[in-house]
Amino acid sequence: MPGTKFDNKKRQTVRNLRIREDTAKYLLNLDANSAHYDPKSRSMRDNPLKDLAHKKPSELSFAGENFVRSTGQVKEIAKLQLFAWDAGERGSNVHLQAEPTKAALLHKEYSKRKDEFKSEVSNSIVDKYGGEEHLKAPPRELLLATTEEYVEYSRTGKIIKGQEKVVPKSKYQEEVYVNGHTSVYGSYFRSGTWGYKCCHALQKQAYCTGAASRSGADTPQLAPEPEPTNNVDRTRSLIEMHQERMVEVKKQKKQKTQEDRENPQAREDRLKKVLAQLDAKAVAEKAEGLDERKRKYNSMVVDKGPTEEEMEAWKLRKHMASDPMANISDDKT
C-alpha cells in the first residue's frame, strides 16, 4: 500500500511521515476559513491556495488531494475499473489488477465498437427520415449573432459612422387589407365590438360595401341635455355612497340598542328563538348523520351577515376546549 513502511523485524506496519523539509499542508494557508485539514487521516481535500487565482492548480506545490485524484490517468483507470466490474457481472473473465493489459485492450475494443454502433444508428435514422441539413451546425459567427458591421455613435446617441441595424417592427404581416377593405380590422369600435373603419362592418370576414353602407344609426346620438336647475345634482362617488351606507347602519344599530334597553324582554325572546333554531338544526343533522366538518365549501353562503342574537347564541353554544367543566353535563352532580 502506498504511504506505508513494513518492518520485518518488528512485524508491524508504520505510516510514513512527511519529509521534514516539506511545508505542512495546514501551514500553506493560515486562514481559519480555508480548506479543512483532517489530522487523523492527514488529508486536506480542498485547495488551500484558492486565493492565487493567477496560477493554475497544476503550477501550485499543493492544490488539494481532490485535484490529484482528478488529474492524469486517474479518470482513465476509474473507467477501466467500471468496465471490468460490468464485464465481470456479465460473465466475462476480466480483472483490472490481475490482468491490466487484457482489461485495457478489451476496453479499447469495446469503446471502438460502441462509437461505430452509435454512428450506424444515427446514419440509419437520417437515411430513413431525412433532415441531414439540420445536423450541420451553422458558423460560429451566426450562432453568436456577430457581424463585421461597424457603427459609431456620438455622446447624444446619434450615428456618426455606419448604418444602424434595422429591427423588424413585428413578426406578423402589417397593413394587409382583405376582402376589399381599405382599413384593417380593429380600426373601428361600436357597442363593445371591433370592426372596419371603411364600412363600419363588425364581422371580421365581411366584405367591404363602401362608405354607402354607413347608416345614421352608427353615429352616436347625444342624450338630451337636462334642464338647468338651481340645485345641481352632483354625481356621488363610491366612497361617499359607502360613507352614507355606514352612517345609516350605525343609526339602525343605535336605534335597535335603544329599543333593547327599553324592552329587554324582547331581546331575550329573540335570543331564545335563535337558540331553539340552533337546537333543532343540530338534532336534524344528528338524525341525518351529517358532519359539520364534511359539509361543502359554499353550503352556508348567505347574502346577509349574522345578527347580534345569532352571534350571542353562537358564543353561548361554542365549545371551549380550555374550559375544565366543558365536558360535564348539567344533569350530573
Whole-Å CA distances, 144 to 147, 151, 285: 9, 18, 72
pLDDT at 301: 61
Taking all residues of the chain, what is their mean pLDDT, rounded to a whole number?
A: 77
What is the dihedral angle through the alpha carbons of 114, 116, 121, 126, rounded to the nearest 10 degrees? 150
Task: Write out pLDDT tens, residues 255-280.
Answer: 777 777 777 777 788 888 888 888 88
Say what the pLDDT of residue 120 is: 93
Report the phi/psi class of residue 222: left, alpha or beta, with left for phi > 0 and alpha for psi in -120 to 50: beta
183, with CB counted inside 10 A (0-12, 13-18, 19+), is: middle
Report percent pLDDT > 70 for the chain. 76
* Residue 285, number of CB atoms within 10 A of its CB: 13
pLDDT at 220: 52
Give percent above pLDDT 90 in the chain: 8
User: What is the average per-residue pLDDT within 193-220?
Assistant: 78
10 Å CB burial of residue 181 (0-12, 13-18, 19+) is buried
Residues 141-171 pLDDT 10s = 677 766 677 888 888 888 888 887 777 677 7
How do residues 219-238 score in pLDDT, each as one tens digit? 554 445 555 544 444 567 88
- Give just the sign of the alpha carbon dihedral 86, 92, 95, 96: negative
Distances (CA, A) of 82 to 100, 117, 127, 204, 228: 13, 20, 35, 67, 98
pLDDT of residue 1: 45
**Polymer length of the chain:** 333
Is pLDDT at 212 greater than 80 in this prediction?
no
Single-letter amino acid code for the residue at 111: S
User: pLDDT category, 24, cuts 50, 70, 90?
Assistant: confident
The CA–CA distances, whole Å, from 331 to 272, 301, 315, 323, 328 equal 21, 36, 22, 18, 9
